[in-house]
Structure 1
Amino acid sequence: MDLCGRHITLITILVGVCSVATGYGEYASGSLVALDIAIGIIACALVPLLFRWPVATALVLAVLAAISPTATPPSTIGTLQVSSRQPFPAALGVAVFGIAAHAVRFAWHPLPGLSFAWWMVLVVITHLGLLGWGALAQARRQVIASLRERAERAEAEQGRRILEARAAERTRIAREMHDVLAHRLSLLATYAGALEYRPDLAPEKLSQAAGVIRSGVHQALDELRDVITVLRDKSSPENTDRPVPVLDDLPTLVEESRAVGTPVDVNGDVTEVPGATSRTAYRVLQEALTNARKHAPGQPVKIDINGNPGRNLIIEVTNPLCHADTPTFPGTGTGLIGLTERVRLAGGKLDHEVTAREFRLHALLPWPT
């Protein structure tokens, strides 16, 4: 309970009423009335100090209440202020001190028609009420502060989740863009490189290469459009117009690589691989062939696929390293990083290593029944 102007006004009125009652009492003389008024003024002047030194000020007000009844209203406010702001032991000590002070005052300044026992009953009940009121106000304030802190923490947590969701979405977009476009653009770069290094090709060969490049650009744009559609629409990929490539599309992927001069040998034959595992396996092989064309153009690629339902699907891709004088395409290495994360999210594991003679990529994917 914070003190404000209306509380001070109320205290002043109560002090005046107590002073008048004291002045008209049969036990009061003129000197005592003057003393009561002076103590009431001093008590009112001490009330603002409750904000800075609540316990000490409340004890001083209790001492003044032991001398004059005009200090009782400020002392009551002091007890309430301590009860609502300070720990319970301090509030209990101030309340006990206030009860003792009022007992002392009654001993030398009794009220006519009221016994000491009833006076103490009223004083104890009043101070217990002040303790309960203050404790209730303090508990309510703590609950409000706790709820406010919880709301602020929830808001901060929500903000963090939004940032994490945005980062995850950007990563997903980047991974899909890389998986879809890197393969297609590497094919185009291979054809464009052939045109650059072989300007003496026959016109029909040049026309054929240009046609392949034009067709590849259109396919890349279509695939990019499909990726953006899937990323904007959270529905299943199977609901798009163009089917998402799976392991059954491996022959087409292999033919595209062979068409640009990359010999590909596939060993193993697996069927009925589930959709999620099949899509991830396709992305692994697509990235492996893309890297082979970029970093070892013209070198043969060997693909081994085997596995059984209920166990694992094992993919291993190897290709010799290119010669130092062979032109290659620059890379950042983020493709394998993203592919490793994709395989991990699918519950599998992907490793890659470079030996003295070849590059080897090994993927292990779960194959549920």
Structure 2
Amino acid sequence: MGETVDDHDRDDEVGDRAERVVDRFRQLREDDRKRRTHAEAGVVLDQFDAVEQRLLAFGRALGGDPDDVADLPFTEEAGRDGMPEPLYVRHDRTLLNQVTSWLLQRQHIGLVSEYGTGKTAFREILKRDLGDRDDFLVAHVDNPQQTTARGLYERVLRVAAEAGIEIDPDNYWQIRDGIPWATAETKQAVKEVAEQARAEDVTILLIIDEIEDLPEDLLSAIQIAGDAGVRLFLSGTPTGRDRLGDVKATLDSRLRYYEGIDPFEVEDIAEYIARSLSYFRGEDYDGESPDLFEPAAIVDIHDRTGGNPREVRLECRELFTRAAFVWYRSGQDVERIHITPELRHRRFGMNQ
């Protein structure tokens, strides 16, 4: 019996795949030749360049278009802007419901949880979501450990001014760029804009992170702002709450605390991975299970991290990098690369 059309199609497909693999190895050999030619740049810098290029190539093979490694999946914590909205896993519904209720009631709020449990991600979502509402003005102090009391008051005043709530300059001795010069007068100005905001049914919300590391004089300034009518959202570790109670018991007593953010369950990790890969490819998250990661690998990630979101991200990043090494060394099509628990135990370098 002679060959069929299907036989020819299969032969063509195999031939095409073989040709792609050969072309890819030719390109990698050329990259290695160029890298050796420029080895005078230094062995460490040379390795940086090689690893970066192969990680980016793996990302492109997966369907993304990264310009540098910070664009790859699971790297969002490397930036100071926090987690993008599409990557946030809304796994702790009790947290969302309770904090939302307190915000609507204009309570002072304290969010207390261990490191890596998602406070920063929640803060970023809170800033963006409330920043889109007409009844909230959100002030967030960057680098609060290095902020002075006057700097904190100034941040509140500038956020208010951007919304059209300004102080009466006749009430102050000296003003520069719309802000009273004297620290004592900036306190009075904060009270003035808070009263105006309340009269317009607007809440000024001051978000401060890492209360465990704040200097005592800044804690005093935070309390003064709260007394003046600004609503507070403070976050930190249980150690931070204990310190707040010891140093500023009156401030501590005014906060409504939410303690402990739930860790990720296995299905939450799967959602985070799927969201990350979709976001990387410029696609909407559709609720489907993630590709690339085998279900057993997701269970293993949960077992290793206890569901701590930060540790989950770091573990996913490590496994993603190892998968890139396997892809580079094997020459296989990216569709055949799968992350399994065993990948975590393999030892290899990108140049092997």
Is the TM value for this pair above 0.5?
Answer: no
**For the superposition of Structure 1 and Structure 2, which TM-score range results when normalised by the shorter chain?**
under 0.3
Question: TM-score under structure 2 normalisation?
Answer: 0.21
If asked which structure has higher relative contact order (CA below 8 Å, sep 6+), I would say 2
Structure possessing the higher radius of gyration over alpha carbons:
1
Q: Which has the higher helix share?
A: 1
